[in-house]
Amino acid sequence: MNYTAEDRAVALAGVFQAGALVADVAHGRSLDEQACRSSIESLFVESPDSVPEVFGGLGGVRLGLLLMRDALGNDRERSHAEVLRYALNIVHVERRFASQPALQNVLETRMKRVKEQLQHFDIGHATITSALASAYQDTLSKLPQRIQVVGNAQALQEERNAERIRSLLLAGVRAALLWYQVGGRRWRLVFSRRTVQAAASQLTEQLSAQ
């Protein structure tokens, strides 16, 4: 199947969105709950007909597209640099995880269990968040290259926030895998930044017109 620059931008926006949400939780800021829900729900989308469908439609990564457009610009703010750092780290960790079949099998088993729990709990329920966080901790956290999260000490010490951060990082890694599957590569993000930003800008304009 041939994928477009827009498809890659949508997938990468999922990575940026997860990174932005992680930063918000870590700093104790208010969270875009709809964006958070779209990111977490993407973990359970199987055999989508299109890339946007992974996130429930293009609107599901609105936050990620806006941040990606701004973070890759020349006039990006300090907060954008933090989101960009998380995005690059998530992409890096996903590639390391892709070379660990044993951990992948563990994660697959754990995700099947969480999917069964969704028959009894809403996706935003603390039980689901805790289960996803545990799955992340027992798999991706075992890699030597882990994603370092910084923020407000008080916010980071709260178990609920720690679990939410891990579940969002898991969603970010899933988006990074999708990005790789549709032709995304780390070197393109570094050396073709303008192309990626242009695609993100075009998609945000498309959303604004809806």
Mark residue 47 as left, alpha or beta (left: phi above 0; alpha: psi -120 to 50; beta: remaining): left
pTM of the model: 0.95
Domains, in order of start, for the chain: 5-209 (1.10.3890.10)
Q: Rounded CA gap, 55 and 145, in Å?
A: 27
The per-residue pLDDT for 123 is 97
The per-residue pLDDT for 181 is 96
Q: Rounded CA gap, 56 and 160, in Å?
A: 25
Q: Rounded CA gap, 204 and 173, in Å?
A: 23
Cβ neighbours of residue 172 closer than 8 Å, sequence gap 6 or more: 14, 15, 17, 18, 19, 22, 39, 86, 87, 90
The per-residue pLDDT for 76 is 64
The per-residue pLDDT for 136 is 98
The per-residue pLDDT for 175 is 98
Which pLDDT tens digits describe the chain residue by residue (210 residues)?
Answer: 789 999 999 999 999 999 999 999 999 999 999 999 999 999 999 999 999 999 999 999 999 999 999 888 766 677 788 999 999 999 999 999 999 999 999 999 999 999 999 999 999 999 999 999 999 999 999 999 889 999 999 999 999 999 999 999 999 999 999 999 999 988 777 778 888 889 999 999 999 887
